[in-house]
């Protein structure tokens, strides 16, 4: 794991969430025998505690493998939420960042929800404090409040709708067709992308993901010239110039689908590089290149990997099950208030499955990148 010098200094109430703190807490790499031992220990503890592991595509590959080997899931945040609620296990171990654990707890209050490290958060969540957000909402009472999943339970408690990147476009389009004006938070890049795609009237909060915000349009253009055969896959949390260069814009699941079903031999991937583990497993013959985050005109702030996602490791799964540390609590009435916007999204997705079926732009299965 390479250390980065940049420090995103915004902190939550615990004061323990800046990126320097996160990088310092990334567990040490294990040797192959240590990895096998840690996996065996975590596997036994999951069984002993009637627990299931729910992992995001951006976490360590060993954790992703363990989740799949033990009947858990590896997915985007939408599927993590659905899977956790529907699985019969009494304990959910959520490998990801804090808002994912909170969402699991909001949906499944009767279950114990554990996380390998509760300090694993997200720059979008940190950048949207609940009090400031409430004031923003109060100032615009005529707008439907739509928040991205990457927010605290307290922010969700104020929202009409929660969305993930899988369904954000479809839900914004739905609201626009109903003549609704939208107040959007917190990711400004995703908000702008949705606004431009749908034509909806959207007022945007000024947040960003520190990983996607660092992808560089100029450098991506140069890379594309070097690999003219490549298809460019971009997550819509990226800046406009990067999105403009994309053959496919979509959520993590949609980008994986694009690699698996595409006929191009090479793919340039502009999202957290944790996703490459699953892409390589599902499309082993294909060449995957990380989109550039740095260049002569830039500083490398994120190196395409989220420090908070990197805090998740095999050791943490075992230790949260052994000690009970890392349990997620979402007190009432916030939990009940936040539930409404999540259920509205899940109901919409259930009623409109086609909204999730394909990437959001440019991809035609089996046609390739031409």
Query: Where on the chain is the footprint of ligand SF4 (CB under 6 A)?
Result: 58, 97, 122-124, 150, 209-211, 272, 306, 308-309
Torsion over CA: 14, 62, 237, 218 (sign): positive
CA 298-291-21 angle, to 5 degrees, is 65
Task: Take residue 228 and report the two structure tokens written for it.
Answer: 């003219």
Task: Take residue 218 and report the two structure tokens written for it.
Answer: 């100029």
Q: Judged by CB, which is closer to ligand SF4: 128, or 172?
A: 128
Nearest distance, CB of residue 76 and ligand SF4, angstroms = 11
User: Strands 51-56 and 91-95, how do they pair?
Assistant: parallel
Dihedral, CA of residue 230, residue 261, residue 368 and residue 277, to nearest 10? 0
Task: Take residue 271 and report the two structure tokens written for it.
Answer: 């999202």
Q: Judged by CB, which is closer to ligand SF4: 302, or 315?
A: 302
Nearest distance, CB of residue 305 and ligand SF4, angstroms = 8
Q: Judged by CB, which is closer to ligand SF4: 165, or 369?
A: 165
Q: Judged by CB, which is closer to ligand SF4: 24, or 44?
A: 24
Nearest distance, CB of residue 174 and ligand SF4, angstroms = 24
Nearest distance, CB of residue 88 and ligand SF4, angstroms = 28
Nearest distance, CB of residue 155 and ligand SF4, angstroms = 14
Q: Judged by CB, which is closer to ligand SF4: 211, or 338?
A: 211
What residues does 163 pair with on adjacent strands? 148
| Omega before 333 within 30 of 0, i.e. cis | yes
Q: How far is CA 350 from CA 147, 343, 345, 353, in A?
A: 19, 10, 9, 6
Q: Judged by CB, which is closer to ligand SF4: 279, or 306?
A: 306
Q: Judged by CB, which is closer to ligand SF4: 39, or 133?
A: 133
Nearest distance, CB of residue 331 and ligand SF4, angstroms = 23
Nearest distance, CB of residue 237 and ligand SF4, angstroms = 6
Q: Judged by CB, which is closer to ligand SF4: 107, or 209?
A: 209
């Amino acid at each position: 794991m390479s250390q980065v010098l940049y420090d995103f200094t915004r902190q939550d109430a615990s004061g323990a969430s800046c990126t320097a703190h996160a990088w310092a807490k990334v567990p040490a790499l294990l040797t192959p025998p240590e990895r096998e031992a840690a996996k065996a220990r975590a596997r036994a503890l999951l069984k002993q505690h009637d627990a299931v592991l729910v992992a995001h595509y951006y976490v360590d590959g060993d954790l992703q493998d363990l989740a799949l080997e033990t009947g858990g899931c590896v997915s985007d945040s939408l599927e993590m939420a659905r899977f956790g609620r529907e699985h019969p296990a009494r304990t959910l171990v959520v490998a990801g960042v804090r808002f994912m654990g909170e969402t699991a707890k909001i949906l499944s209050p009767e279950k114990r929800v554990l996380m390998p490290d509760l300090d694993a958060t997200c720059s979008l969540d940190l950048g949207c404090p609940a009090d400031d957000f409430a004031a923003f909402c109060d100032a615009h009472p005529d707008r439907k409040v739509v928040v991205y999943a990457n927010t605290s339970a307290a922010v969700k408690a104020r929202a009409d709708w929660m969305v993930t990147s899988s369904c954000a476009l479809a839900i914004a389009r739905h609201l626009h067709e109903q003549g609704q004006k939208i107040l959007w938070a917190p990711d400004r890049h995703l908000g702008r992308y949705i606004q431009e795609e749908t034509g909806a009237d959207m007022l945007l909060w000024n947040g960003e993901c520190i990983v996607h915000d660092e992808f560089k349009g100029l450098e991506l253009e140069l890379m594309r010239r070097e690999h003219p055969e490549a298809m460019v896959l971009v997550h819509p949390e990226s800046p406009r110039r990067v999105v403009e260069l994309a053959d496919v814009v979509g959520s993590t699941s949609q980008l994986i689908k694009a690699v698996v079903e595409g006929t191009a031999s090479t793919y340039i991937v502009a999202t957290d590089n944790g996703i490459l583990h699953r892409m390589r497993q599902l499309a082993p013959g294909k060449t995957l290149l990380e989109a550039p985050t740095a260049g002569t005109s830039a500083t490398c702030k994120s190196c395409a990997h989220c420090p908070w996602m990197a805090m998740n490791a095999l050791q943490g799964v075992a230790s949260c099950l052994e000690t009970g540390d890392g349990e997620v609590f979402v007190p009432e009435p916030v939990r009940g208030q936040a539930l409404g916007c999540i259920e509205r999204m899940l109901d919409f997705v259930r009623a409109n499955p086609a909204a999730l079926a394909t990437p959001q732009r440019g991809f035609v299965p089996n046609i390739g990148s031409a």
